[in-house]
Structure 1
Amino acid sequence: MTSPDLRHHGDVDAAPGLADFAVNVRVPHPPDWLRARLAAALDDLGRYPSRHAEERAREAVARRHGREPDEVLLLNGAAEGFALLPKLRPRRVAIVHPGFTEPEVAFRDAGIPVEHVLLDGDFRLRTVEADVDLTVIGNPTNPTSVLHARNDLKKLPGRLVVDEAFMDAVPGEPESLAHDEDVLVLRSLTKTWGLAGLRAGYFLGDPDTLQRLAHGRPHWPVGSLTLEAITACCEPAALEASHRFAQEAEEHAAYATQQLGDLVVVPPKAPFLLVRAPKGAREALRDKGIAVRRCDTFPGLDDTYLRVAIRPPEEFAVFVDALRVVMEEAQ
């Protein structure tokens, strides 16, 4: 039986009525041009998702990453990708923690042994020795916001699965392995484009592996609106906008780091940061109307850590002011 704490995510912390610094979605809703694309696709909901729409979406993803269409597996959200991984039937899996917990849930529920590779200090990769045939890691890693170097990732033992759900928030994506044929890369489109409620993601990998992952999925696994969203978000205009968003996010991260100072554990490379605060700070912030992500559900962290979504300076100032009051009260 999987520990229920591993299924805890930021949306649970972000209760209605609270200022949301718990969920990592960049915007509360899709931009107008994307909403228009999705609205125009509503008239097709009376028909089943078409092969043409699926091929169009796969081709858009392939062009975006310089891959072939048969190296793309479209997903009903990146979380579905984690649920498919046990189909690879690894003997034993290493999961780098602190990190997103859904991969561990999937493997443990499938009865596949999991070994933790726990990082500490600055949460950067060091030499990893593990008797495994598959390793899973996030890059940038959730919740530490660390961006690992490509070369360090390639040294991990066994087959490598990299969760790049937040890579499009890094200007230029310098450490991405999306072009590497030997790596299985998972991508999400929901964070940057405000699509968490729609579910849209994809795998990049070799065709044989993707066929194994796809085997046994239900017919029409990805809906028409998701196919349209994937196509739209991989087109040149969207990629240009995504790059601008990443540069803007980098500026917002610099502001957040400057405001919080020594409370920030490592300089953030994703649209969230890991903060060290006194015990009880999360509950105290909640009492003041602020929601942040608890971190004691991540292996390797305890309740003195908080994950905080980075927002524009005028919004982030609300969190900073509330945290200062909580820190003063704690003293």
Structure 2
Amino acid sequence: MRGQPIGAPTGVGPDPAHEPDLAHHGDAEVGEGLVDLAVNVRTAPMPAWLAEPITASLADLARYPDPAPARAAVAARHGRPPAEVLLTAGAAEGFVLLAQALRGVRRPVVVHPQFTEPEAALRAAGHQVERVLLDPADGFRLDPARVPADADLVMIGNPTNPTSVLHPAADLAALARPGRVLVVDEAFADTTAAPGVPGEPESLAARRDLPGLLVVRSLTKTWGLAGLRIGYLLGTAPLLDRLTAVQPLWAVSTPALAAAAACAGPAAVQAERAIAARLAADRDHLVARLSALPGVRVAGRPASAFVLVQLPGAAAVRAALRERGWAVRRGDTFPGLGPDWLRIAVRDLATTDAFTEVLAQILEA
């Protein structure tokens, strides 16, 4: 049935009387005096090669923003012509542009659990959205055959928020076909790493041979730029032209454009790889500590800057953590999850040790 969840494993489909709050995000969990494990934004000091061009751009605010240099820099990073890059005020704006520009699609499908803004933007634009709910028993892995063959818009994250699952690029590529727009949200692609694999494993950002592919990227996570709002879309020029037609003029500010150009440079790419490698070690430590706790199950094989866990009474545990100074992300606002899920951001080893010690005390009590 159109507009209803489809392909849901037994017992997983959302209850119509308790539909998830798609507008809830991790920043709502953070409060004064709490250690933030709810927001997946890195908060390390900004490097000079990024801070300096942003600061210098403030002297040029009297002129309207010129996206051409940043657009060329992003295009060069991904081996594309500039016409295949659209800069946006954060990745979230890209989902709104998609929902507005693609009003003619007949059967939009969103693969869940994932970031809720894609579906929220579609619904706000009047689309009747269907869901494919991935199975937690299978580690939330994608089976391309579960996506309806006649879906003409498919949206999926990779790595997926909140599951931290990194789907094989071949499985995502199998979803591309003529007459379909395939949107892959790679907001966290730069957080992934694999031994012996250069660059971002399983990314489709450089693929120009897949029909209808549109890749969404964000610069706010690794570089702590959530307040600056900068992201971009990668796709064919005709498809991006449709989105440009509904984008407000000068949507991306001059400081954000300066950040985009800097983050596309060789120094940034090299730094991202080093950060992703350190993150992998910190993530392994968090997973090991969580897995040792009674009743805590880590979902799938985490590959990004956060870990999804299932434990009985997660809502009460989250409240107890807040009382002791820790903020984590509730999972029940993501379609396909429920009240027994929490998302936890990966932090340094000392923070992880302190957090898991408190969590152990709560579980014992």
Q: Into which bin does the TM-score normalised by the smaller protein fall?
A: over 0.9
Name the Cα RMSD after superposition: 1.4
* Structure 1, unpaired ranges of 5+: none
Deviation at 1:109, TM superposition (A): 1.1
Separation in structure 2 between the aligned mates of residue 285 and residue 278 of structure 1, nearest angstrom: 15
Equivalent pair of 1:29/1:195 in contact (CA under 8 Å): no
Separation in structure 1 between the aligned mates of residue 319 and residue 68 of structure 2, nearest angstrom: 47
Separation in structure 1 between the aligned mates of residue 256 and residue 128 of structure 2, nearest angstrom: 33
Separation in structure 1 between the aligned mates of residue 187 and residue 57 of structure 2, nearest angstrom: 25
Asked if 1:314 corresponds to 2:350, the answer is yes
Asked if 1:328 corresponds to 2:341, the answer is no
Separation in structure 1 between the aligned mates of residue 228 and residue 79 of structure 2, nearest angstrom: 26
State the partner residue of 2:288: 258
**Which has the larger displacement, 223-232 or 113-122?**
113-122
- Correspondent of 2:309 among 268, 275, 278: 275
State the partner residue of 1:162: 184
Deviation at 1:16, TM superposition (A): 2.1
Q: Secondary structure at the match of 1:255?
A: helix
- Correspondent of 1:301 among 315, 337, 343: 337
- Correspondent of 1:148 among 161, 167, 173: 167
Asked if 1:216 corresponds to 2:246, the answer is yes
- Correspondent of 2:322 among 272, 277, 286: 286
Separation in structure 2 between the aligned mates of residue 29 and residue 197 of structure 1, nearest angstrom: 15
State the partner residue of 1:192: 222
Equivalent residue letter for 1:76? A
Structure with the higher helix share, 1 or 2: 1
Number of equivalent positions: 324
Separation in structure 2 between the aligned mates of residue 92 and residue 267 of structure 1, nearest angstrom: 31
Equivalent pair of 2:94/2:232 in contact (CA under 8 Å): yes
Equivalent residue letter for 1:41? S
Equivalent pair of 1:140/1:167 in contact (CA under 8 Å): yes
Asked if 1:79 corresponds to 2:79, the answer is no
Deviation at 1:129, TM superposition (A): 3.7
Separation in structure 1 between the aligned mates of residue 155 and residue 354 of structure 2, nearest angstrom: 35
State the partner residue of 1:230: 260
Equivalent pair of 1:165/1:188 in contact (CA under 8 Å): yes
- Correspondent of 2:83 among 59, 67, 70: 70
- Correspondent of 2:203 among 176, 189, 192: 176
Equivalent residue letter for 2:159? P
Separation in structure 2 between the aligned mates of residue 217 and residue 276 of structure 1, nearest angstrom: 39
Identity %: 52
Separation in structure 1 between the aligned mates of residue 337 and residue 46 of structure 2, nearest angstrom: 33
Equivalent pair of 2:97/2:246 in contact (CA under 8 Å): no
Separation in structure 1 between the aligned mates of residue 299 and residue 90 of structure 2, nearest angstrom: 29
Normalising by structure 2, we get a TM-score of 0.86
Separation in structure 2 between the aligned mates of residue 287 and residue 194 of structure 1, nearest angstrom: 27
Deviation at 1:91, TM superposition (A): 1.2
Separation in structure 2 between the aligned mates of residue 34 and residue 292 of structure 1, nearest angstrom: 29
CA shift digits 1:154-184 (9 cap, x unpaired): 2237321000000011123120111122310
Separation in structure 1 between the aligned mates of residue 37 and residue 358 of structure 2, nearest angstrom: 12
Runs of 4+ in structure 1 deviating by more than 6 angstroms, as ranges, are: none
Deviation at 1:29, TM superposition (A): 5.0
Equivalent residue letter for 1:27? T
Equivalent positions of 1:119-134 (< 5 A) are 119-120=134-135, 121=137, 122-126=139-143, 127-130=145-148, 131-134=150-153
Asked if 1:88 corresponds to 2:102, the answer is yes
Equivalent pair of 2:20/2:332 in contact (CA under 8 Å): no
